[in-house]
């Protein structure tokens, strides 16, 4: 039986391109009004199944280790589970004093974690999937842009930890697409060619064909260097050459 009030069952989860649902809530860093308090910044808003759980602990520590990289991309992290604020704080303290993962220890989790023990916020965002267990949240990820618009939604099952480097790659791709008005092909990372918008008229298609693209007028690439991307989307060189970079623990 669902422990939450079923009055919120009828809520429709947001989809890509829509405004992120508003809420006010206590967090481990104080009270927030979302997304108003984050206007002008990108946000990675994610849910975890529960405090004091092993996979979630590894995710939190990985996110914290990359927090400066996200902030260099004008991005804040915001977590949530259907636990109380007291539980969140106790878990964060346990991570700091008791956990050693991948060589990280004495780690302070600095990003806020939303207390949602009624499940109201989780329901608004479709973070609770009844078939997967209706008393806690799945591993949902929402990437929300500086205007408060949902740009990416990802779901992971409870037993599988998220690839935080992939989440960062998507964030950079979104920012690159916005900044240069391009699309990114499969497997794209900074330094790879991007895709320019396809011609919108037959005349533009003919012009494109004459320029040497021939039958491939609908798939045209151009190069944007990692430095150009960095100069456009951040003031600090935190992205680096992602193609050659290996994740350091």
Distance CA 104, CA 95 (A): 10
Look up 56 and say whether it is catalytic.
yes
Q: DSSP code of 214?
A: G
> Which among 33, 15, 12 is positioned nearest to 149, based on CA atoms?
15
Distance CA 185, CA 146 (A): 24
Q: CA-based Rg of the chain, rounded to a whole angstrom?
A: 20
Distance CA 125, CA 121 (A): 6
Phi, psi values for residue 188, rounded to 5°: -60, 140
Question: How far apart are the two ends of the chain, measured CA to CA in Å?
Answer: 41
Catalytic site residue from 8, 10, 56, 208: 56
Phi, psi values for residue 106, rounded to 5°: 55, 35
Give me the active site residues, please. Answer: 56
């Amino acid at each position: 039986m669902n422990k939450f009030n079923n009055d919120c069952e009828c809520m429709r989860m947001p989809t890509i391109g829509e405004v992120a649902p508003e809420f006010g809530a206590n967090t481990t860093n104080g009270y927030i009004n979302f997304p108003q308090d984050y206007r002008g910044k990108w946000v990675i808003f994610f849910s975890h199944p529960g405090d004091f759980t092993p996979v979630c602990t590894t995710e939190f520590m990985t996110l914290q280790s990359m927090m400066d990289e996200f902030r260099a991309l004008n991005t804040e992290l915001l977590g949530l589970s259907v636990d109380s604020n007291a539980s969140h704080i106790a878990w964060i303290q346990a991570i700091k004093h008791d956990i050693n993962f991948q060589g990280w220890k004495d780690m302070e989790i600095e990003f806020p974690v939303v207390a949602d023990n009624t499940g109201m916020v989780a329901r608004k965002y479709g973070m609770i999937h009844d078939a997967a267990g209706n008393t806690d949240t799945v591993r949902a990820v929402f990437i929300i842009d500086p205007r408060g618009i949902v740009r990416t939604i990802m779901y992971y099952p409870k037993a599988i930890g998220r690839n935080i480097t992939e989440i960062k790659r998507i964030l950079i791709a979104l920012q690159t697409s916005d900044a240069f008005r391009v699309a990114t092909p499969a497997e794209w990372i900074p330094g790879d060619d991007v895709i320019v918008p396809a011609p919108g008229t037959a005349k533009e298609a003919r012009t494109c064909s004459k320029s040497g693209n021939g039958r491939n007028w609908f798939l045209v690439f151009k190069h944007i260097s990692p430095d150009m991307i960095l100069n456009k989307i951040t003031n600090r060189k935190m992205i680096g050459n992602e193609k050659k970079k290996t994740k350091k623990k």
